[in-house]
Amino acid sequence: MSFNEGVSTCKRKGGKQMNLFSDSNVKKKKRDSQSPITREKRYALVSFRELPEYMKDNEFILNYYRVNWPLKEAFFSGLRWHNETLNVWTHFLGFVLFLGLTVANLMEVPRVADLLGFFTRSMPISGDTNVSQDFNDFHAAGTTKLIDLQQITPSEMDRGSGYNGVAEWPFFVFLGGSMFCLLSSSICHLFSCHSHSTSLFLLRIDYVGITIMIITSFFPPIYYIFQCDSNWHYAYLGGITIMGLFTVVTLLSPKLSTGKFRGFRALLFSSMGLFGIVPAIHALIVNWSNPNRNMVLGYELAMAFFYLTGAGFYVSRIPERLKPGWFDLAGHSHQIFHVLVVMGALAHYGATLMILDWRNNIGCQRNIVV
């Protein structure tokens, strides 16, 4: 409703028009009615053409942008429809999911930690289950001499107790890294519309978050698989950390945060992920006799598929490129990329659970590492 519609008029007998309100009343009316309307205009969503240069990132998303909104308005815009709403929520819900999994693992709630039984684990953690099969499999393969798992009491079998002295911190480092990435991404999408400087700062935090998630994802598999030979820890974890530092330092340059360097950023992150091929092949050789090898490999391949497909959407900007304006609110590439990142992290979580249980099963000293 426009402001002028609020002022009523009537006609005198002589046909002369007269305001129903005195001048002061009209002014008061103007003051009262102007503020909400002005506010509404001020925080209206705008089109791509109206954006300041620093916000022109994706020319295939035509409408529903927020520009230079105060932090408070930006915060509450999480509950409004605009072209970042689903970007905020996809990663915020991912953060909540991983927070729940972290709490479930800390409190040792197995069903929840297994994501309500979705992930198959190498060793049931219930004490009344026969766990000697793994032992026999490993022993029969002749690669390891294992402790007698049947001597382990049910209470010791609780994964949280670390009965083989297996540290759980690498597992929680991965969960922490994932939560940091998902939350910083969500915050970045919510508040980047505030100002150019805020946008640059949050984008850097977002890139740091992605880098931390990739680095911390390496911790559990490398730590547990090569637990018996710390040299490999240093080699692989050192290697990925150096790559991560290089990535962060490179992306601190504001120029590299622009849309023009979208492909370059995806290449940097993908290279970090692909670095994992080296320890993965090494791990396959080490664990060739592990009966759960293929299962773990399947999860990790699923993770690689989700991440690389996500990177593909991120760079190609499909489907909005095909029908500009159609996917402004829902279904554009960045939202698909977000969902695939959460799915990739979940696949890695499943693999990590199995690797941790496997290491808990066989201990360390007696496992031969080539």
Instruction: Give the annotated binding-site residues for Zn(2+).
Output: 189, 334, 338
Choose between 115 and 318: whose C-beta lies nearer to Zn ion: 318
Which residues inside 320-339 make contact with Zn ion, applying CB under 5 A? none
Choose between 188 and 286: whose C-beta lies nearer to Zn ion: 188
The residues, ordered by sequence, that sit 6+ positions from 103 with a Cβ below 8 Å of its Cβ are none
Choose between 292 and 333: whose C-beta lies nearer to Zn ion: 333
Choose between 48 and 232: whose C-beta lies nearer to Zn ion: 48
Choose between 185 and 367: whose C-beta lies nearer to Zn ion: 185
Stretch that binds Zn ion, among 156-164, 181-189, 210-218, 340-348 (CB under 5 A): 181-189
d(CA 141, CA 290): 9
d(CA 235, CA 225): 13
Using CB atoms within 10 A of its CB, is residue 319 exposed (0-12), middle (13-18) or buried (19+)? middle
Q: How far is the CB of 50 from Zn ion (least distance, A)?
A: 22
Length of the chain in terms of residues written: 370
Which residue's entry shows tokens 């009965």? 163
- The binding site comprises 189, 334, 338
Number of Cβ within 10 Å of residue 95's Cβ equals 20
DSSP H or E segment with residue 9 = strand 9-11
Instruction: Note whether 352 and 171 are within 8 A (CB).
Output: yes
Stretch that binds Zn ion, among 8-16, 162-170, 184-192, 270-278 (CB under 5 A): 184-192
d(CA 74, CA 129): 52
168-179 as b/e, with b when 16 or more CB fall inside 10 Å? bebbbbbbbbbb
Q: How far is the CB of 162 from Zn ion (least distance, A)?
A: 36
Contact pattern from residue 128 through residue 167 relative to Zn ion, giving x for each residue in contact according to CB under 5 A and a dash for the rest: ----------------------------------------
Tell me which residue has its CB nearest to Zn ion.
Answer: 185
Q: How far is the CB of 259 from Zn ion (least distance, A)?
A: 13
Q: How many CA atoms lie within 13 A of 354 on its CB side?
A: 24
Stretch that binds Zn ion, among 75-83, 125-133, 178-186, 215-223 (CB under 5 A): 178-186
Stretch that binds Zn ion, among 3-11, 179-187, 219-227, 292-300 (CB under 5 A): 179-187
Q: How far is the CB of 185 from Zn ion (least distance, A)?
A: 5
Choose between 7 and 315: whose C-beta lies nearer to Zn ion: 315
Q: How far is the CB of 90 from Zn ion (least distance, A)?
A: 8
Q: What are phi and psi of 316, to 5 degrees?
A: -80, -25
Q: What is the sign of the dihedral through the CA atoms of 167, 169, 174 and 179?
A: positive
Stretch that binds Zn ion, among 100-108, 165-173, 185-193, 222-230 (CB under 5 A): 185-193
Q: How far is the CB of 107 from Zn ion (least distance, A)?
A: 31
Choose between 21 and 261: whose C-beta lies nearer to Zn ion: 261
d(CA 168, CA 220): 9
# chain residues binding Zn ion, by CB under 5 A: 1
Q: How far is the CB of 193 from Zn ion (least distance, A)?
A: 14
Number of Cβ within 10 Å of residue 324's Cβ equals 15
Which residue's entry shows tokens 């598999």? 221
Q: What residues make contact with Zn ion under the rule CB under 5 A?
A: 185
